[in-house]
Structure 1
Amino acid sequence: MFTDVKRKIPLINREISWLYFNERVLQEAADKTVPLVERLRFLAIFSSNLDEFYRVRVATLNRLVDINSKTKTMLGFNPRKILNEIKNIVVRLERRFDYLYEQEIIKELEAQKIFIINDQQLNVVRGTYVREYFRKQVLPTLVPIMLEGEDSLKPFPELKDRRIYFIVKLTFRKKVKFALVEIPTKIISRFLILPENNGLKFIILLDDIIRYCLDDLFFIFEYDTVEAYSIQLTRDAELDIDADISEKFVDALMQSLQRRDKGRPMRLLYDSDIPLDTLNHLVSRMRLDSDALIPGGRYHNFKDFIDFPNVGGSSLEYPPMPQLRVNNLDLGRSIFSQMTQRDYLVSLPYQSFDYIVHFLREAAIDPKVKEIDICLYRLAENSSVINALINAAQNGKRVNCLLELKARFDEEANIYWRNRLVEGGVNVNIGVVQYKVHAKICLVTRREKNGLMYYANLATGNFNEKTAKIYCDHSLFTVNPLITKDIKRLFKGLEKQTFHRSYKAIITSPLETRQLLYQLIDDEIEVTKSGRKGYMILKMNSLSDEEMIAKLYEANNAGVTIQLMIRGMCCLVPGQEGFSEHITVRSIVDRYLEHARVWIFGNGGEEKIYLSSADLMTRNIDRRIEVAFPIYDVDIRKEIRDIINIQLRDNTKTREINQMNNNRYIGTKSKIRHRAQEDIYNYLKYKS
């Protein structure tokens, strides 16, 4: 924890806070009540998260290391000290990771008669099977690179970002040669299921297949011993591009994406069994700082374990939760006709994303529909949303798509979708200068007897049918004119690169979110000062904006009760006398990823409820285009409040965020077990 030097308020550094979030993911891998294959997948999520953290956040900190002391004072922290703390925490978490995999999960798989075996554990029969597979499938993809000595003028080969390599050491009569071999996980599955024997199931990793067959790969060399140790380099993934929104921008973005694999090295994860001379050779030739070295286990790029094959039956995975229907919303009838009767809420992933696809498909073929406006940020690999928009354009509708090309790590995919949309006749706007478009909104304009009618879909999550199966989000269908007219005005402004103020219903970034959220907080302060109960419940992914935290501390000191539910980063420090005695912070990490942003304000007994695309981070408040929208429908307000109440009573998967950063589970003395995601599913199931 540190104190902001300008505001003199307690804060947790955002990078350190993020690492404690990732530790909560690791806790799921350690939880013996989680099915075994799912525990492996949580290890994969932890690993993937950490890769991205190094590519982005650690990369940024490294750029700040050499700034002067005055700038460090303005930052409120010393980047070098934070980097050292990050390394200490990461090394601790990596050790925990290795222990969970090697000492717990592997052994529990073996108890289920599932064996992940390595190259040293192959018998003759399985060894023959592996070698035949290697020669037919793997060997044609491998091209070893022989490395020069340390005094060589020849540059060291460029290791690609996040790819797994073997550093191979060949020794012949005390003379040593080194080679690099890239593990072809982009081409070949990481896992090979071996023939079953007496009910025993065997799986071997691609890494160990190659280790077993190194003699086939290096047959032209004489050697007494050959050893292979895995390494993985994580590079700076930030893009250095001109923000000009034009065809030149697309070209510049493509060039920057090509450079991303050659960004500055941030972390070299290496097998901790690697011989010292081999590690020294790497460090010397790659010119790495010692801070970049992270010892790890035998296997890297553990994110591939997301696709670990379940050969042991359904009990090793979460039981299925079939997606539910939305009460009184019929996929067999016109969505538009039903929307004129009332608003509808889809709570994902418990309910189906098919409602959103059906809405777009109906708009594509309805002869009365004249125009579709939509903002897109991240899309599924085979996107039904894109197909519906192209079909609409081909059916003569005017389709206007604001597609954010700068969606981190989805840039290349979004360039592909941009080209598909343009070819299909869609009007594509590729962004707004200096601002990412992160709003999740769609507006359909329909000509009816009494003139133009607007049908809106507003959401907390992306128009992405893949993530809609694993992300907890809310998606609202409404024809409420207060909202739809605001959305129409917003789209017109975005088309002209203009931002408006003074919307009737919605709250938008970058111009108004901060001001209007402050006003909502001030209203709770005034309620409390008047002797009534002032309170707010704020759910989000991340809270890091320092001015917003200061405002919440101000509300706390006025006596406002504040309940925060934050999945990821939380830079606010709860329980601090004089700052946050009335603030509690909870974090739910479970089978689904909590992603919805919900704001509830007591408002003197007449609660105000907003859903939003924005977290309370500076970038979302001041540097992105975001939309928060009110919930007016009485039944939907109750449904959202019920869901929030279910989450607040969770005593199974909720952790407390506190001053000690110990991720303590919140339990109660109650004998009744409450697990929010299961309870929400059952609530919606029996409600419908």
Structure 2
Amino acid sequence: MPLNDRDLSWLSFNHRVLGMAADPQVPLFERVRFLSIFSSNLDEFFRVRMPALMALHHIEEADTAVLPTVQEELKKQLQEFGQTLTKQLLPALKAEGVHLYYGEEIDAANKKPVKDYFYNTVLGFLQPLTLELDKPVEMFLENNALYLIVCLEDGRHGIVNIPSSNLPRFLRLPDKQIVFLDDVIREHLDFLFPHKKVTGCYSIKVTRDAEIDVEEFSGHLLDKVEDMLIKRQLGVPTRFLYDARMPDELRDSLAAYFRIANVELAAGGRYHNLKDLAELPMQSGNSACAYPPMPAAPVAPLEGDGSLLDTIKQKDVLLHVPYQKYDYIVRYFNEAATDPDVKEIYVTLYRVASGSQIVHALISAAKNGKQVTVMVELKARFDEANNIRWAKRMKEAGVKILYSIPGLKVHAKVALVKRKRGFHWDHIGLLATGNFNESTARFYTDHILLTAHKGITQELELLFVYMQTGITPTRYNFMHFEDLLVAQFNLVDRFTAMIRREAENARKGLPARIVIKLNNLQEKQMIAELYAAADAGVEIDLIVRSICCIVPRKGIRLRRIVDRYLEHARIFIFHNNGEEEVYMGSADWMNRNLHRRIEVCFPVYDPVYRQQVKDIINIQLADNTNAVILDAQIRNIPVTREPGEPAVNAQKGIYAYVHQR
């Protein structure tokens, strides 16, 4: 069965992000933002995927190991990154009056404010040391921290930290001139290393392995994860990034001193951690330098003065964020926290905002005497510390906290409110394709169903019973999932059955079509089912943002959309001989999602909303400006627009569509 490599397909996605930074049709300041996203993504790749690739390289035959191909692709992309920044973006910024010093001598007029900033602000954060490179290592390089290696006239070397985690990476000077924090320090090395002439200065950083299995640890899960966070910062190096101008002899000496293997050495530019470009203080009188405002649309049924919970009780509401207001989700939790008839609240939390209003509402609910149960996924990578902090605060307020499930991550995005009026209980559910996070909701495209559907809400309650008790829902104990598709239970079987039904319809000569939108597609069983369906004559359209291991062939069309907003929703549409079934949810088709997580996909029953979802998908399939076609080599091939054909941008088109509802 033909499959594309998952890591090369991810690099193809990040190359598409880089392509947005190089695209002159993208507003200038947004191009800088895409460059920072590319850099941030790459750091995570080195922390999460590179350790596995390096391990495989040691055990696989040379002709099967993918590491050399990955390294070659990384080298090519980093060269393109440097060209895009230095040859395109920096000159374009300067033309707009935004001058970022990039290896240039700072103007004499700016020496004084740089000097004042160094002595009054920066100096107190610095720890300059002299290194004895021929002696045992005397210091530890922190993960992704920035350092300057300083060459001294007497043949010795110094090292000084760049405190970008404590101070802004950029200093704004008069007349829209900007200088790196790195260069503020470079200007004053003679003060840090007195009586020794400085003969050279080069930047370095180490990226460390972030993949530490929580199952390694013994004891309470909360303690395990807190221990893991400490160990992560001490992980083995996966990349030693150094200024390419550094002499080879010095590079090799540093590698030996810090115990860096040759395979971990990576040449870079003068500056590292260019994800910090997202913080670049850019201003211009030219409005074309940024995306125009796209204010979120109100949803008429939820705009009234009455209870939002009452409105949902009467009729389902499907939200399309960020095109529509996310405020209603915060209001859902706020009302539940204060409504005297609400007795119980259940919610899963995977990634929450650092100042989450939703979590504050849950804390208030508990203090208001309600029974609040929250499944906090402590193993959400890189959000563990934030989740631990919130979990402790909620527990102190009386919230019942469920700390994950051994061997599983709870990735589902669901909530349930139980309200008692007289002798009657209302169940009001919330099911989403994205996290309950007010911050990311501004730029992640997701869909959220608010519903009182009896079957869906009863099965939500059943799911929370399972997460609390571990009692497995089955037909034999009269607890099982029918409306919801839940990983570990029926999700894989149901998706498989729906794909096979389309294949059978195609063999009968009936119309057969599948449209799927995912973040990642890698699980072999599901790919095999799609191949078999295509061979049977099913027409399959896939929109896959990131990792994509399926190889396009006859009947399988594959595209990717990278634009202003991060495409994040998972949508599944099966033609079913005209009786279409539409599902949405949290589950990508990856091994981890289908076999090692609790995921929930939910049906869209309301015909009006089902049509909205289909219309939105059709707009994305018609995109001929930002969409690219993925070919068998995972290359991003721009969609060709025929002469006279109108331009279609999916996100602009969806924004207009949603505002007409």
**TM bucket normalised to smaller:** over 0.9
Please say if residues 353 and 439 of structure 2, whose CA atoms lie closer than 8 Å, have aligned partners that are also in contact: yes
The structure 1 residue matched to 2:637, chosen from 651, 656, 664, is: 664
Paired residue for 2:182, among 187, 190, 207?
Answer: 207
Measured after TM superposition, the shift of residue 123 of structure 1 is 2.3
Counterparts of residues 598-609 of structure 1 (less than 5 Å): 598-609=571-582
Deviations 1:58-88 (A, max 9, x none): 112223344477xx9xxxx94xx21111110
Deviations 1:125-168 (A, max 9, x none): 20111111111111111011211132x1x225211111111111
Shift of 1:331: 5.5
**Residue pair 1:37, 1:308 contacting (<8 A) in 2 also:** no
C-alpha deviations, 1:357-411, integer Å up to 9, x for none? 1000000111110100100000101000100000111111100000000000011
The residue aligned with 2:121 is 137
Is residue 438 from structure 1 mapped to residue 411 from structure 2 by the alignment? Answer: yes
Unmatched tracts of structure 2, length 5 or more: 475-479
Change (3 A) 1:331 1:169: farther
Cα distance in 1 between the residues matched to 2:379 and 2:320 = 27
Q: State the distance in 2 between where 1:261 and 1:176 align.
A: 32
CA 1:177–1:403 in structure 2 vs 1: closer, same or farther (change >3 Å)?
same
Q: 1:107 maps to what in 2?
A: 91
Paired with 1:40 and 1:156, the residues of 2 have a C-alpha distance of 38
Asked whether the equivalents of residues 139 and 217 of structure 1 are also in contact (C-alpha less than 8 Å), the reply is no
Corresponding position of 2:332: 359
Is the partner of 1:340 in helix, strand or coil? helix
Q: Which moved more, 1:276-285 or 1:58-67?
A: 58-67
CA 535–585 in structure 1, closer or farther in 2 if over 3 Å, else same: same
The amino acid across from 2:80 in the alignment is: R
SS of structure 2 residue aligned to 1:323: coil
TM-score (norm 1): 0.93
Q: Could you tell me which amino acid in structure 2 is paired with residue 479 of structure 1?
A: A
**2:72 partner letter:** N
Residue 113 of structure 1 aligns with an amino acid whose one-letter code is G
Question: Cα 1:490–1:94, aligned 2, differ >3 Å: closer, same or farther?
Answer: same
Q: 1:470 to 1:331 in 2, by over 3 A?
A: farther
2:113 aligned partner, one-letter code: Y
RMSD across aligned positions (CA): 1.6
1:260, distance to aligned residue in structure 2 (A):
1.1
Unaligned ranges ≥5, structure 1: 1-8, 576-580
Question: Equivalents in 1 of 2:471, 2:615: separation in Å?
Answer: 38
SS of equivalent residue, structure 1 residue 215: helix
- 1:550 is matched with which residue: 528, 534, 541? 528
Q: Is the 8 A contact 1:402 1:429 kept in 2?
A: yes
Q: Do structure 1's residue 271 and structure 2's residue 243 form an aligned pair?
A: yes
What residue number does 2:162 align with? 183
**C-alpha distance in 1 between matches for 2:469 and 2:216:** 17
State the match for 2:477 in structure 1.
none
CA distance in 2, matches of 1:342, 1:249: 40
Equivalences for 1:347-386 in 2 at 5 Å? 347-386=320-359
Report which stretch shifted further, 337-346 or 439-448.
337-346
**Amino-acid identity (%):** 41
Match for 2:280: what amino acid? Answer: F
Alpha carbons of structure 1 residues 118 and 160: separation in structure 2 relative to 1, 3 Å: same
In 2, Cα distance between the equivalents of 1:156 and 1:533? 70
Cα shift at 1:350: 1.1
Question: What's the CA shift for 1:247?
Answer: 6.5
Taking the aligned partners of 1:435 and 1:668, their CA distance within structure 2 comes to 45
Match of 2:71 in 1: 87
Partners of 1:355 and 1:299 in 2: CA distance: 43
Provide the C-alpha distance between the structure 2 equivalents of 1:216 and 1:506, rounded to a whole number of angstroms. Answer: 66
Size of the aligned set, in residue pairs, is 654
Tell me if the contact between 1:214 and 1:226 (Cα under 8 Å) persists in the aligned partners. Answer: no
Alignment equivalent of 1:293, drawn from 230, 246, 265 = 265
User: What is the rounded CA distance, in whole Å, between the counterparts of 1:110 and 1:63 in structure 2?
Assistant: 44
Three-state SS of the structure 2 residue aligned to 1:656 is: strand
The answer to whether 1:563 aligns with 2:541 is: yes
Residue 203 of structure 2 aligns to which amino acid in structure 1?
S
Deviation for aligned residue 1:216: 1.9
Distance 1:323 1:499 in 2: 41
**Aligned residue number for residue 340 of structure 1:** 313
Question: How far 1:118 sits from its partner (Å)?
Answer: 4.4
Alpha-carbon distance between aligned partners in 2 of 1:233 and 1:534, rounded to the nearest angstrom: 51
2:4–2:634 CA contact under 8 A, matched in 1 = no
Secondary structure in 2 matching 1:180: strand
**Contact 1:372–1:442 (8 Å) recurs in 2:** yes
- Partner Cα distance (1:264, 1:247) in 2: 24
Deviations 1:517-558 (A, max 9, x none): 110101101111111111100000000011111111010110
1:539 matched to which residue of 2?
517
Could you tell me how far apart the structure 1 residues matched to 2:107 and 2:365 are? 59
Moved more, 283-292 or 341-350: 283-292
Alignment match, 1:6: none
Equivalent residue of 1:11, what SS? coil
1: distance between equivalents of 2:599 and 2:592?
10
Give the equivalent residue in structure 2 for 1:157. 139
The answer to whether the Cα contact below 8 Å between 2:23 and 2:31 also exists between their aligned partners in 1 is yes
Aligned counterpart for 1:674 among listed residues 636, 645, 648: 648
> Matched residue of 2:464: which SS?
helix
Q: 1:113, 1:369 → 2: CA distance?
A: 56
Instruction: Tell me whether 1:655 sits opposite 2:637 in the alignment.
Output: no
- CA distance 1:362–1:125, change in 2 (3 Å): same
Shift of 1:252: 2.1
Cα shift at 1:287: 2.5
Give the aligned residue type for 2:592: R
Going from structure 1 to structure 2, the CA distance change for 1:298 and 1:588 (only over 3 Å counts) comes to same
State TM-score, norm by structure 2: 0.97
Offset at residue 226 of structure 1 (A) = 3.3
What is the DSSP-based 3-state SS (H/G/I as helix, E as strand, rest coil) of the residue aligned with 2:660? helix
